[in-house]
Amino acid sequence: MPVVWVQHSDENLAKGSAAWRIVPERDSFEDTMLEWVLSDLAVGRLVVVGAQTDACIRSTLRGALVRGYDATLVGDAHTTEDQTAWGAPPPDQVIAHTNLYWRYQTAPGRTAGTVASEDVDFSASS
């Protein structure tokens, strides 16, 4: 099963710098070669895990769905930092809410949903 790691960099975010480690506001499709890589691998379904639930993860899920990919969120394999100082809910609530609303996402001809790590199915028929 191919695994594609996406990490943004640009002139203001140099590879290897401390700031480069996390870019919470980006969609993994935005200004990357991700669609080309997925096309080259003949990928039609994404299984999404990672960091910054309330930014990168949500943006990437939506970006995948609107671009025609099936998009599954692994509910116990994403995380976020505590943004309560700025009025956001605590991380566990952000994660739970994202798992809940992605479980019921739909789009014509595409599937979405949330599964636990133990229930991820990488078979071609999934």
Contact 63, 93 (CB under 8 A): no
At 19, is the pLDDT very low, low, confident or very high (cuts 50, 70, 90)?
A: low
Single pTM value for the model: 0.82
Q: What is the mean pLDDT of residues 25-50?
A: 87
**Quick one: average pLDDT of 90-103?**
97
Rounded CA separation 108/1 (Å) = 26
Q: What DSSP letter does each residue of 27-76 carry, written as one string?
A: -TTTTSSHHHHHHHTT--EEEEEEE-IIIIIHHHHHHHHHTT-EEEEEEE
Give residue 21's pLDDT band: very low, low, confident or very high (50, 70, 90): low
From 6-10, 20-24, 74-78, the region with the lowest mean pLDDT: 20-24
Show Cβ contacts of residue 27 under 8 Å, excluding neighbours closer than 6 positions.
Answer: 56, 59, 60, 62, 63
88 in Cβ contact with 94 (< 8 Å): yes
Residue closest to 79 by CA, chosen among 13, 24, 26, 29: 24
Least confident of 49-53, 87-91, 108-112: 49-53
- d(Cα 10, Cα 19) in Å, to the nearest integer? 11
- pLDDT tens digit sequence for 47-62: 999 888 988 899 999 9
User: Is residue 28 very low, low, confident or very high in pLDDT (cuts 50, 70, 90)?
Assistant: confident
Please name each of the domains of the chain with its CATH number: 42-118 (3.40.50.850)
At residue 31, the pLDDT reads 75
